[in-house]
């Protein structure tokens, strides 16, 4: 006669509450503002990829000295800057710099902050105390001020500036990942995995991280908009992209000297920054609604 053993069932691997994909997409598509945000970001990506095909001139070396500070026209659709460079072309290539700024800085913050936060929240104790004191020290400074100081210390330049912005964002990802790990580590399926001999690394990788991804992705979406503002601010101050590079922040820096004579010079990069940041914020709201059904009721 055989007796049934009381072995716990293997814990689930699903990271989010089970829901049909079509229902999730329909909920997102039903949010008109979220679809507008997604369309803006999709347009940004397309422009960044197709910039060499859509541009009419070289963004740095093609200079029309006969049409310096010219308004929009047939030869230059959005006009020219103080060196006769085509603003339309520079706007296209500026979308590449802004997209790189968002991906590099937020990617760095995510890849550093999430593992540290999960380990801190999972183990607690001394590890958590040390990590949180460092995070408290970083968050004592406004993120843009911290990025400005780090960029100056690293010597300026676009990639150094993005590393500085990423370090400034890391503390927010650490806190969010830590809070998620502290909650998930005590759930039934994690305890079941631990009871059948699953190691800590396996539990954190297969069960804690997937279940913590939803709020982390939302945070990353919002952070991308902030990263674009930070890049523009650092480039405006001369600590980001080189002055000759077609960064929207650098274009605003050039435009400040011609606000009375050529206000359109500042309007185009300012409008682009506004629309892209708005797009990321609307997209983040839409993703948050998809992952939290309570918001859609």
**Mean pLDDT score, 188-206:** 88
pLDDT band per the 50, 70, 90 thresholds, residue 193: confident
Query: What size, in residues, is the chain?
Result: 297
Whether the predicted pLDDT of 12 surpasses 80: no
- pLDDT at 192 > cutoff 60: yes
Beta partners for residue 86, in sequence order: 80
CA quadruple 36, 37, 38, 39: dihedral positive or negative? Answer: positive
Given a cut of 50, is residue 130 above it in pLDDT?
yes
Percent of the chain clearing pLDDT 90 (strictly above)? 52
Q: Are the C-beta atoms of 254 and 104 separated by less than 8 Å? A: no
Q: What pLDDT score was predicted for residue 10?
A: 46
pLDDT at 268 over 90: yes
Per-residue model confidence as pLDDT tens digits over 208-245: 999 999 899 999 999 999 999 999 999 988 888 888 88
What is the Cα–Cα distance from 74 to 55, expressed in whole angstroms?
Answer: 14
The answer, yes or no, to whether residue 7 has pLDDT greater than 50, is no
- Find the mean pLDDT for residues 184-200: 87
Confidence (pLDDT) at 292: 67
Whether the predicted pLDDT of 296 surpasses 70: no
Which region, left, alpha or beta, applies to residue 242 given φ > 0 means left and ψ of -120 to 50 means alpha? beta
> Tokens representing 67?
């049409």
- Residue 19, both tokens: 């829901």
pLDDT of residue 5: 42
The CA distance from 227 to 184, in Å, is: 29
């Amino acid at each position: 006669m055989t007796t049934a053993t009381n072995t716990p069932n293997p814990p689930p691997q699903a990271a989010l509450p089970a829901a049909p994909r079509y229902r999730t997409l329909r909920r997102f598509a039903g949010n008109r503002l979220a679809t507008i945000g997604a369309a803006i970001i999709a347009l940004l990506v397309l422009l960044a990829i197709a910039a060499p095909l859509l541009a009419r001139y070289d963004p740095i070396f093609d200079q029309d000295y006969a049409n310096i500070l010219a308004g929009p026209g047939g030869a230059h659709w959005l006009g020219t800057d103080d060196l006769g460079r085509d603003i339309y072309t520079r706007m296209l290539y500026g979308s590449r710099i802004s997209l790189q700024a968002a991906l590099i800085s937020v990617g760095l913050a995510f890849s550093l902050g999430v593992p540290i936060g999960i380990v801190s929240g999972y183990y607690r104790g001394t590890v958590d105390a040390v990590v949180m004191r460092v995070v408290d020290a970083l968050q004592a400074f406004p993120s843009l001020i911290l990025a400005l100081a780090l960029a100056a210390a690293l010597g300026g330049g676009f990639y150094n500036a993005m590393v500085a912005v990423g370090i400034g964002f890391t503390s927010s990802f650490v806190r969010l990942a830590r809070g998620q790990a502290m909650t998930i580590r005590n759930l039934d399926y994690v305890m079941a995995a631990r009871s059948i001999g699953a190691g800590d690394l396996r539990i954190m990788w297969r069960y804690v991280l997937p279940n913590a991804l939803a709020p982390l992705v939302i945070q990353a979406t919002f952070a991308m908009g902030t990263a674009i503002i930070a890049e523009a601010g650092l480039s405006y101050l001369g600590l980001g992209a080189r002055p000759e590079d077609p960064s929207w922040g650098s274009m605003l820096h050039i435009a400040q000297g011609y606000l009375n004579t050529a206000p359109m010079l500042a309007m185009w990069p300012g409008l682009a920054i506004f629309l892209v940041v708005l797009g990321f914020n609307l997209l983040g709201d839409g993703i948050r609604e998809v992952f939290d059904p309570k918001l859609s009721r």
